[in-house]
């Protein structure tokens, strides 16, 4: 039952993409990053369509709009199933998402540390708030909240060393750029560790992307064909 459902979904996806009206214009660089992004937005659409509350909210309860979103989501779920069948891709996406999360956490740590320092410095606080005590109190209240989150983040030693590496990589890159030539130092820093490297994966994938140029339709076709063969074998 389940296999035939997958089989049907894939068959539909293949034919839908084969017809693909606007498919011709998709001859552009397809990167892992762009595919992950597409999966994320397809997922969002499917999620939205399955939430009556959000649907009604978003459409002002317009039945036409709701039906249109649901129709799009129905197509999206088929495409999504095809893409998710590629475990290499889904794994790459989770690695990228984790690296992105790490980078965001490191930025949060920097921002929250600054905010807390500001709140603790009466001189700086007064200057920032133009002596408005309401503003000062708002900043202080935010800082108290931030402290809890900051403590949670900084207690993670894995995260802390990843942040140190990311900062080092950034500094090395900046230094190399200022020097005109890329130095061995900066290369070493770039390659340093898995975490640091994957955190910068998003930027490096851009350059590899320019090399790997293929059409979206070809890629889907390939995925579907392989998946169809596998699904076919499973049915037997």
Ligand X SMILES: *[C@@H]1O[C@H](CO)[C@@H](O)[C@H](O)[C@H]1NC(C)=O
Candidates 34, 70, 113, 156; binder of ligand X (CB under 6 A) is 156
Nearest-approach distance from CB 115 to ligand X, in angstroms:
13
The alpha-helical segments, DSSP class H, found in the chain are 2-19, 32-49, 52-59, 63-84, 87-120, 122-129, 133-154, 157-179, 184-191, 194-199, 201-211, 216-235
**Binding status of residue 124 toward ligand X by CB under 6 A:** yes
**Binding status of residue 102 toward ligand X by CB under 6 A:** yes
Site string for ligand X, 3-22 (x = CB under 6 A): --------------------
Find tokens 């290499």 and name the residue. 88
**Binding status of residue 64 toward ligand X by CB under 6 A:** yes
Cα torsion through 134, 140, 142, 147, rounded to 10: 180
Token pair recorded at residue 63: 């039945």
Q: Which residue, 146 or 198, is less far from ligand X as judged by CB?
A: 198
Candidates 29, 226, 234, 235; binder of ligand X (CB under 6 A) is 226
Nearest-approach distance from CB 55 to ligand X, in angstroms:
9
**Binding status of residue 54 toward ligand X by CB under 6 A:** yes
Q: Which residue, 2 or 158, is less far from ligand X as judged by CB?
A: 158
Q: How many Cβ atoms from other residues are within 10 Å of residue 108's Cβ?
A: 14
């Amino acid at each position: 039952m389940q296999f035939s459902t997958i089989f049907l979904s894939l068959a539909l996806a293949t034919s839908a993409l084969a017809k693909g009206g606007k498919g011709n214009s998709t001859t552009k660089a397809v990167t892992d990053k762009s595919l992950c992004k597409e999966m994320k937005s397809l997922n969002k659409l499917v999620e939205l369509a399955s939430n009556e509350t959000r649907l009604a909210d978003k459409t002002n309860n317009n039945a036409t709009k709701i039906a249109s979103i649901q129709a799009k989501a129905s197509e999206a779920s088929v495409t999504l199933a095809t893409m998710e069948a590629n475990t290499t891709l889904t794994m790459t996406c989770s690695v990228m998402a984790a690296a992105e999360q790490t980078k965001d956490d490191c930025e949060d740590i920097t921002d929250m540390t600054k905010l807390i320092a500001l709140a603790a410095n009466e001189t700086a606080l007064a200057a920032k708030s133009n002596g408005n005590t309401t503003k000062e109190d708002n900043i202080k209240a935010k800082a108290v909240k931030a402290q809890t989150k900051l403590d949670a983040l900084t207690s993670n030693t894995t995260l802390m060393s990843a942040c140190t590496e990311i900062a080092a990589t950034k500094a090395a890159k900046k230094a190399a750029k200022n020097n005109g030539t890329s130095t061995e130092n900066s290369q070493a820093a770039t390659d340093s560790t898995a975490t640091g490297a994957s955190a910068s994966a998003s930027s490096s994938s851009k350059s590899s992307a320019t090399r790997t140029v293929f059409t979206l339709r070809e890629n889907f076709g390939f995925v579907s064909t392989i998946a169809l063969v596998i699904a076919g074998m499973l049915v037997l």
